[in-house]
Structure 1
Amino acid sequence: MILAWLIMILPLAGMLAWLSERWGPRWPRWIALAALSVDLVLGLAQWLTSADQLQLSRHDAWMAEVNIPWIPRFGISLHLALDGLSLLLALLTLFLGIAAVAASWSEIRERVGFFHFNVLWVLAGVLGVFMAMDLFLFFVFWEVMLVPMYLLISIWGHERRAYAAIKFFIFTQAGGLLMLIAILGLSVIHYRQTDVVTFNYLELLGTTIDPNTELWLMLGFFAAFAVKLPAVPIHTWLPDAHTEAPTGGSVILAGLLLKTGAYGLLRFAIPLFPDAAMTFAPIAMLIGVIGILYGALLAFAQHDFKRLVAYSSIAHLGFVLLGIFAWNTQALEGAVMQMLAHGISTGALFILAGALQERLHTRDMRRMGGLWGTVPKLGGITLFFSMASLGMPGLANFIGEFLILLGTYHTSVPLAVAATVGIVGAAVYSLILIQRTFHGHNTEGWKVPDLSRPAVALLGVMMVLQLWMGLHPQPVLNTAYPALISLQAIVDGSQTVSAK
């Protein structure tokens, strides 16, 4: 039942945080922080006690699992399960949740209780997405993420928050509806073959589907996940949502919600529809490379600090899309590492962007410059995470991008070469961010306080994680490896049956 508690603690704490605002604004913050800390401890304990199970490679061998009937008539159950892949992303969710609460400590001063209610509910939805093994339940959690995130942007966002929130809602809701249609279609096909109504992931694996139908169903899933990833050309909601969201919202959006799209491709879109996915793989990989180059080019052209980081996310998640559809062990391991590394590095950059905006009341880098002497801690930490973003060896992003390019090289040399150009682009926009913000002349005469000790402590932990995964990535790779091998075995087995 630990999985149910991991999820339920957060919405319960969210309601308590909302109610506790009457006692003062500190109560919701501490309640949210305590709930996420308890969950993180439970998640780490699960990781430490599951070392033996991580060696298992069967797709039905879970580190933890709970399966309770919910709507038996339609074969729907509260089926949650945890393997190495889910565990890593769940730990990332809880850690970045703590970072989002901490980053919002002084920024959010109105409706503090309701803010933390929405933060905890969206995090509960993300955890549910990473654990759900019933497709109907997965869709429920997918939608649970949507409304709280919409409210975070529309209520506590910046100047154009209403526009950004509505755009985010329309794009993600449209993708979710396409996925729902595909889920129902898959369940109906399975029912016609077996006379069993079910939405169980393991039972739906290997369902025999006509090739044309399989392609359309796969595209329904792909559309939902590509919107959330986001992939070009359905990415246009992302820069606005990232830019206008409050700091905590940007951390959750970039660090976690984008990863739900990548996870969905890994767990559902490809294993459920292996033949269609492998047929579509060259197109998906090309979309990934386009995203890498396009995101880098547009990031280079930005003057808004947060908008630059937002476009860089399109480039980084382009690497993830490329690695997933390359579908070999090295590329998949790189995709998982890139998901984790991007969550930490980009989450930190959004925290730093929020700190700058709180002090300067602007995100325009043309008005900055010369800040290093005024805020040396902020400048040095921003330099560190900018180096992580451009893929500096010794940091986690480098491991992810290197493995993705290595795996892609075995699949398509031209696409691997083209994606490498994106790393050069990352170096350009990352160095431009540092130069425009912290070097040159302080023409505006900025004199603002540097980062506080709690902020330095939080960002210091994120720096340590980047270094740990960059210098010693094996524990992370060992944790993800059995799950990735299982997914590959599912796809390879389905393709073998189809070939026969």
Structure 2
Amino acid sequence: MILVLLTALPLLGALALLVPAGRFLPGDAAVARFGAAVSGATLLVAVCTAAVFDYGAGSRTQLGVNRSWASSIGLRFHLGVDGISLPLVVLTALLTFLCFVHLARHAPAGGRTRLLTGLLLVLEVGMLGTFTALDLVLFFVFFEVVLIPMYAVIAVWGGPGRAAAARKFILYTLFGSGLLLVGMLLVGVKAGTLDMTQLAARHGAGLSHGVQIGAFLLMGLGFAVKTPMWPLHTWLPDAHTEAPTVGSVLLAGALLKMGTYGIIRVALPSVPHGAAYWAPWLGLFAVVGIVYGALACLAQTDLKRLIAFSSVGHMGFVLLGIATLTPVGVNAALFGNIAHGLITGLLFFVAGSVKERYGTGDLRELGGGLLSSAPRLAGTLTFAAVASLGLPGLAGFWGEMLALLGAYRPHAALPRGTFIAFMAVAGLGAVLTAAYFLRLLSGLTHGTPREHVPAGAARISAVEYAAWAPLVAGTLLVGLWPKTLLDVTTGPVRALLGGG
């Protein structure tokens, strides 16, 4: 029942916060410590899950729970993990805990710490449930649980444009969810089962070619909104720019991964003919997103907005890997998911600290000379930026390199010339990625020092070190030893794609 405990702990923690403050956890500091304790316990369960996982049988669903939920319509409460979902479970639990560590010394600007803590715990329930659910309806329920908490986090604690950003977020994601539900129900009804493990084992057997094409289009669009894929990405920059630091970290580090994970877990194995039909289009939109994201970053003057647009480009590499329909490409996508979560989570933490110290995230107002006025802050920003641009030896390199390699040798059913062209365009996007990050560092960490440096700008607190250090370590670990992740995902990916 370890996976039940994984989702039950944050849910029980959120429910406990409904008790009036006068009777339970009076004061914001006590609430913040409670949130850190609950998320820390959840992280411990996630680590225990990784510890007891049988890596020699990573393609098999493990630690499963499979109970009847609504027998009259065939719904089951079915949870499990394999080598595809396990890294995302650990990443999600880690990022949530680090967000609560951050909140321990950085109270939300709008107050109401109790409400924010409860919402973040519910958000964790939805994210962890999505990565462990093995029933289509249960998956969809968890997938939707995250919407209202994230909407509220942006709308209540966001910046000046929070209302519009929150509305755009909820409208886009609800539209995508509607398409996703129709696609899933189409597969479930035609296949006669909602069990994701059975659907994956059948590899489309019993579903006509037309049904598979239609179902993949519907599910793919639904997941693409969450990813987000160009041109369905326009909600993301606004949401990131206006969201508080913890909202941006979880949005980039975990929520975006739900979209690409859904394509890999649900769409690819259940409707493989539909995936092969739409793969060239998916690859096209992916490489357009890579180049568009990089060009948009070159035009940005706000630090958080620049990082947000960089996510569009990086997730484009993830989508390109998926579009190749090869073990190399899908492994690249899974690796890119983890790398992006670690690196972009760190970037948003640092961006939040810059804004807190200097009162703005506008690059024109920040000026330069950060390396001399706040060397530790500038050093962390530099590390995260060079990791994000794909420096060999850091986590960002492997996902992008393997995606390009997968595009060079796509699945035999796909047009190789088209994907080689995609590879060339994506390579150009990688160069542009280096350009905008180096431009950022040149102007912000070097450049002309600003005249007035706020008191205490150079000091990094112990809480900030505690929140950032695990992400730095993770970026180094999977960058220097990519086998750490690839050995976990390779077997399950081959099985998922029908290779045994």
Q: Deviations over 1:155-200 (max 9, x none)?
A: 0111100100000000000000111112222222234xxxxxx422
* Mapped contact 2:65–2:79 kept (Cα < 8 A): yes
Normalised TM-score (structure 1): 0.93
Verify the 8 A CA contact 2:240 2:304 in the aligned structure 1.
Answer: yes
Residue in 2 that maps onto 1:485 = 494
Partner secondary structure for residue 327 of structure 1: coil
The aligned length equals: 481
Structure 2: unaligned runs, 5 residues or longer: 411-418
Preserved contact between residue 347 and residue 381 of structure 2 (Cα < 8 Å)? yes
1:213 Cα deviation from its structure 2 partner: 2.5
CA–CA distance in structure 1, aligned partners of residues 373 and 277 of structure 2:
55
1:472 and 2:481 are equivalent in the alignment = yes
1:105-131, CA deviations, whole angstroms, 9 ceiling, x for partnerless residues? 314151101101000111110111101
Give me the whole-angstrom Cα distance separating, in 2, the residues matched to 1:281 and 1:9: 39
Q: What is the CA–CA distance in structure 2 between the aligned matches of 1:391 and 1:405, rounded to whole Å? A: 13
Of 29, 34, 39, which aligns to 1:31?
Answer: 34
Deviations along 1:371-410, whole A, 9 cap, x unmatched? Answer: 2222111000000000001001110111111111111111
1:247–1:351 contact (8 Å) kept in structure 2: yes
Aligned with 2:78: secondary structure?
A: strand
Partners of 2:363 and 2:21 in 1: how far apart?
Answer: 36
1:4 lines up with 2:7 in the alignment: no
Correspondence for 1:121: 122
Alignment check: 8 A CA contact 2:107 2:113 kept: no
> What is the match of residue 228 of structure 1?
226
Tell which deviates more after alignment, 255-264 or 320-329: 320-329
1:34-45 matches, within 5 Å, as: 34-45=37-48
Classify the secondary structure of the residue corresponding to 1:226: helix
Is 1:305 paired with 2:297? no
How far off is 1:444 after superposition?
4.5
Q: Amino acid of the residue matched to residue 63 of structure 2? A: A
Q: Is the 8 A contact 1:25 1:113 kept in 2?
A: yes
Q: Which amino acid aligns with 1:166?
A: R
- In the alignment, is the contact (CA less than 8 A) between 2:225 and 2:259 conserved in 1? yes
Alpha-carbon deviation of 1:427? Answer: 0.8
TM-score w.r.t. length of structure 2: 0.93
Aligned CA RMSD, in angstroms, stands at 1.5
1:295 corresponds to which of 293, 296, 311: 293
Contact preservation (8 Å) 1:179, 1:223: yes
* Structure 2 SS opposite 1:66: strand
| Farther off after superposition, 431-440 or 286-295 | 431-440
- Where has structure 1 moved over 4 Å in runs of 4 or more? none
- 1:28 and 1:399 mapped to 2: Cα distance? 39
Query: 2-side partners of 1:155 and 1:454: how far apart?
Result: 24
Partner residue, 1:258: 256
Deviation at 1:207, TM superposition (A): 4.4
Does residue 56 (structure 1) correspond to residue 57 (structure 2)? The answer is yes
Cα distance in structure 1, aligned partners of 2:58 and 2:340: 27
For residues 148-187 of structure 1, what are the structure 2 equivalents within 5 Å? 148-187=149-188
C-alpha contact 2:65 2:80 (8 A) present in aligned 1: yes
Specify every segment of 5 or more residues in structure 1 that has no aligned partner in the other structure, as ranges.
192-197, 494-500
Partner of 1:497: none
Task: Give the match's secondary structure for 1:373.
Answer: helix
Shift of 1:12: 0.9
Deviations 1:58-104 (CA, angstroms, capped at 9, x unpaired) = 5xx22210011111101001100111111100000011111222233
Please give the residue correspondences for 1:92-131 in structure 2 after superposition, counting only pairs within 5 Å: 92-105=91-104, 106-108=106-108, 110-131=111-132
Secondary structure at the residue paired with 1:85? coil
Match of 1:314 in 2: 312
CA distance in 2, matches of 1:18, 1:299: 42
Q: Tell me by how many angstroms 1:18 deviates.
A: 5.1
